[in-house]
Amino acid sequence: RRATEAEELLRTIDTRGLTGPVAAVHALARFEAGLALHRYEEARRESEQVDPHYLFPVQRDQFERERRQLPAPPDHRRPG
């Protein structure tokens, strides 16, 4: 429930003006919400927006660990 509420609140933020550490932390929060809700494709997309350079070492370590634990993306290629 908390992840759902967090996601709803995060969607209300106008991200067009976010840069640097604020953008990184916002993307990290979206990544974590997607992960908690088992929306792995969304989490994967958000993870690409996180600049680990702006995270504290503990945040960076946890982010990298969680990103490595994401299930592999589905293979949408068709045979033939």
Per the domain annotation, does 16 fall within a domain?
Answer: yes
The total domain count for the chain is: 1
State the pTM of this model. 0.84
Per the domain annotation, does 78 fall within a domain?
Answer: no
Per the domain annotation, does 11 fall within a domain?
Answer: yes
**Owner of token pair 């690409």:** 48
Amino acid identity, position 21: P
pLDDT in tens, the chain (80 residues): 889 999 999 999 999 999 999 999 999 999 999 999 999 999 999 999 999 999 999 999 999 999 999 998 877 666 65
Per the domain annotation, does 31 fall within a domain?
Answer: yes
Domain membership of residue 38 as a residue range: 2-68
